[in-house]
Amino acid sequence: MLVRVMAIALALSAPIFASQTVFNAPTVNNSFAPLGNLDVLAESSFTTFAHPAFPNYSVRIKKSDFCDGTVAEARHLFFYFFESRNDPDTDDVVFWTNGGPGCSSAVGLFMELGPCRVNNATKGTEYHPESWNSNANVFFIDQPIGVGFSYADYGEYVTAQSTTEEAAQDIAAFVAIFFVHFSKFQGRGFHMAGESYGGRYIPAFAAAVYDQNAYLIEAGIPPINLTSIMIGNGMTDVPTMMTAWYNIQCSSASVAPVQTIQRVFRAYSCLSLTGFQDMRSHETKESCEDVFDVINCASAMDFCIESLRDPYVTMGLNTYDLTTRCDGVELCYSIMDTVVTFLNRKDIQSTLGVDPARAAYSSCSPEVMADFGRLSYDLMHGSTEYVAGLLERGVRALVYAGSYDFVCNWLGNDAWTRALEWSGRQAFAGTPLREWTTKDGAKAGKTRSAGGLTFATIYGAGHMAPYDKPKESLEMAQRWIAGKEL
């Protein structure tokens, strides 16, 4: 089933060489003439625009009635944009990225919170009633370069972007160019959301957007109304999360079947690691955060992975859902394979405007993951300080977690939010968790909130909460965007 939703896709161009050409692209008009409204876009060709304040960037855009959006090229960051089903002329704007690092946001679009989902049976798409564009205009982005439909003409993504901070500069520039050209969205609340490694990405991306506002004002450009960040099952503080791997397996916070496995297989391991996990947590914080020592930091992290995560994986359990076993397909979910198959169809790629010469689509890039890992050690640098800085500047932060996740579990996210050093720390940490319910009165999870920071769990959800619990996740997002308490 295809849904006729107005969707656009954009590609950010930051030329690697002065002589680089754009795949089948029209000439960029560098004089500033805002397009104003999405209705001016053509469906049969791409429109390319820029702004003199960002001479190294341009954006190509094309309109489509296809639910899944369209795609474009340059140094070839791909975006999907869906207008709100409710009121696109007044509703806020949400930016979404998946994590990895190196995983495509098409996973979030077609599996979790987009206006249509792929169907395992039909291999096509079907209407998704709990899409986050029910009351918001939503972006989905494949980033950094080398992820999904994003690529570099000459393969330079390794040297172009191998840290979150480098990727943040492209994101900030794109956001500025989009809002300045489509003036109907200027001044709207802008919410930057992400999942998993998005817990590292989103705080840094939002900080770059916030800092860029001073430059925009100086250049006579309206600033971005950065309103909040939303982090779902995020890897924001690595040392804290790795300690939580022990807690989610070896404490009463776990769930079946892990508790049963503890009694039968894991009892000795949990007992033997009791002292070591505290020691390694201290070592990880000391060498990865307090004073960055790449050798000792890597050693401490490797120990945590080998002793706390790998045995869990070896038992065939799903690291994204404590209640299920991994079915052996990509990332333990067969629907991931369906997304890949769908986006590799020639007719779909033609509709999306994909360069026919590029490589096949994959949901995650092991090369990008390796570059962000052992090349730059980006994973070892947390983003908690960005969160604190944003809170102090009036940008709200929602940190939510499905209660059944292992790899970025609720215990770790609860712990780092309570330990976050900001002016509201005492009030937040001193607020007990309370139950939150849906509008029909059903228990949905637990939450605490103080100042601009909110933490929430979603009962029965794993790593990808909008996939497992779409109704509860949408209601949470809608309340948050509207500035209401859970």
> Which of 325, 347, 382 is the C-terminal boundary of a domain?
325
Reported as a single tens digit per residue, the pLDDT across 340-357 is 999 999 988 888 877 776
Confirm whether 94 is domain-assigned.
yes
Give residue 380's pLDDT.
82
Reported as a single tens digit per residue, the pLDDT across 394-446 is 999 999 999 999 999 999 999 999 999 999 999 999 999 999 999 999 999 99
- Name the nearest CA neighbour of 184 among 252, 93, 305: 93
Q: How many domains does the structure of the chain reveal?
A: 2
Same domain, 264 and 277: yes
Same domain, 254 and 334: no
Give residue 341's pLDDT.
94
What residue numbers bound the domain in which 285 lies?
Answer: 250-325
Confirm whether 214 is domain-assigned.
yes
Query: What percentage of the chain reaches a pLDDT higher than 90?
Result: 48
Same domain, 337 and 316: no
Q: Which residues are annotated as catalytic?
A: 196, 405, 463
Same domain, 97 and 188: yes
- Name the nearest CA neighbour of 95 among 21, 189, 214, 1: 189
Confirm whether 457 is domain-assigned.
yes
pTM for this model (two decimals)? 0.86
What number is the average pLDDT over the span 459-464?
Answer: 96
Give residue 440's pLDDT.
95
Give residue 69's pLDDT.
38
Same domain, 205 and 295: no
Reported as a single tens digit per residue, the pLDDT across 269-322 is 676 666 655 666 667 777 777 777 778 888 878 878 887 788 788 878 899 998
Same domain, 443 and 355: yes
Same domain, 282 and 411: no
Reported as a single tens digit per residue, the pLDDT across 103-153 is 999 999 999 999 999 998 888 999 999 999 999 999 999 998 888 888 766
Read off the pLDDT band of 335 (50, 70, 90): very high
* DSSP H or E stretch at residue 249: helix 238-250
The pLDDT of residue 204 is above 50: yes
DSSP secondary structure string, 376-406? T-GGGS--HHHHHHHHHTT-EEEEEEETT-S
Same domain, 319 and 353: no
Same domain, 375 and 404: yes
Least confidently predicted of 58-67, 184-193, 301-310? 58-67
Same domain, 318 and 334: no
The pLDDT of residue 40 is above 60: no
Q: How far apart are CA 480 and CA 277, in angstroms?
A: 35
Reported as a single tens digit per residue, the pLDDT across 75-87 is 567 888 899 999 9
Q: What CATH number is attached to the domain comprising 164?
A: 3.40.50.1820
Confirm whether 19 is domain-assigned.
no
Least confidently predicted of 56-65, 247-256, 355-364? 56-65
Confirm whether 27 is domain-assigned.
no
Same domain, 385 and 294: no
> Which of 325, 356, 375 is the C-terminal boundary of a domain?
325
Give residue 15's pLDDT.
29
Q: Is the peptide bond before 101 cis (omega within 30 degrees of 0)?
A: yes
Confirm whether 26 is domain-assigned.
no
Same domain, 341 and 457: yes
The pLDDT of residue 88 is above 80: yes
Q: How far apart are CA 127 and CA 377, in angstroms?
A: 40
Confirm whether 2 is domain-assigned.
no
Confirm whether 64 is domain-assigned.
no
> Which of 260, 293, 325 is the C-terminal boundary of a domain?
325
